[in-house]
């Protein structure tokens, strides 16, 4: 599958813990975006990386951080987890920096904080 790949598919953890979500973009795509989908807030943009550099920031909490590695995969780190962090986390990728590109989405990681 040459599409956007996210691992793991499901993650169950406890409050106060730290987790790492991983995203591999489509082949050739340089941008990676992270979105959070929760029942009350819908799909919200968290952060974007383009070719290893942070490009845009949305409503990302200070407890959350991300990075994009030289091979262009990205990781979203969530720490000091709270019940309210339970959500679907989507990664998307695009060819360029984004202002005119189509974003292609991964299947998501479902995080459950107990």
Partner 1 sequence: AQRVTQPEKLLSVFKGAPVELKCNYSYSGSPELFWYVQYSRQRLQLLLRHISRESIKGFTADLNKGETSFHLKKPFAQEEDSAMYYCALRGQAGTALIFGKGTTLSVSS
- Residues that bind partner 1 in the complex, under the rule CB under 8 A: 3-4, 31, 33, 35, 42-45, 48, 55-56, 58, 90, 97-100, 102-108
DSSP code for 103: P
Nearest distance in Å: CB 105, partner 1: 4
Comparing CB distances to partner 1, the nearer of 36 and 78 is 36
Comparing CB distances to partner 1, the nearer of 81 and 93 is 93
Comparing CB distances to partner 1, the nearer of 24 and 31 is 31
Nearest distance in Å: CB 18, partner 1: 25
Alpha-carbon distance of 107 to 3, in angstroms, equals 10
Is the CB of residue 89 less than 8 Å from the CB of residue 109?
yes
Comparing CB distances to partner 1, the nearer of 81 and 87 is 87
For Cα atoms 56, 57, 62, give the angle at the middle one, nearest 5 degrees: 150
Nearest CA among 47, 45, 44, 38 for reference residue 74: 47
For Cα atoms 77, 68, 1, give the angle at the middle one, nearest 5 degrees: 95
Nearest distance in Å: CB 54, partner 1: 11
């Amino acid at each position: 599958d040459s599409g956007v790949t996210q691992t793991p598919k499901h993650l169950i953890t406890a409050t106060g813990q730290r987790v790492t979500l991983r995203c591999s973009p489509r082949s050739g795509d340089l941008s990676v975006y992270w979105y959070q989908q929760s029942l009350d807030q819908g799909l919200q943009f968290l952060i974007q990386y383009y070719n290893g550099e942070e490009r845009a920031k949305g409503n990302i909490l200070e407890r959350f951080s991300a990075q994009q590695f030289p091979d262009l995969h990205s990781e979203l780190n969530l720490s000091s987890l709270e019940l309210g962090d339970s959500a679907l986390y989507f990664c998307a990728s695009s060819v360029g920096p984004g202002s005119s590109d189509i974003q292609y989405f991964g299947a998501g990681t479902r995080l459950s904080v107990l």
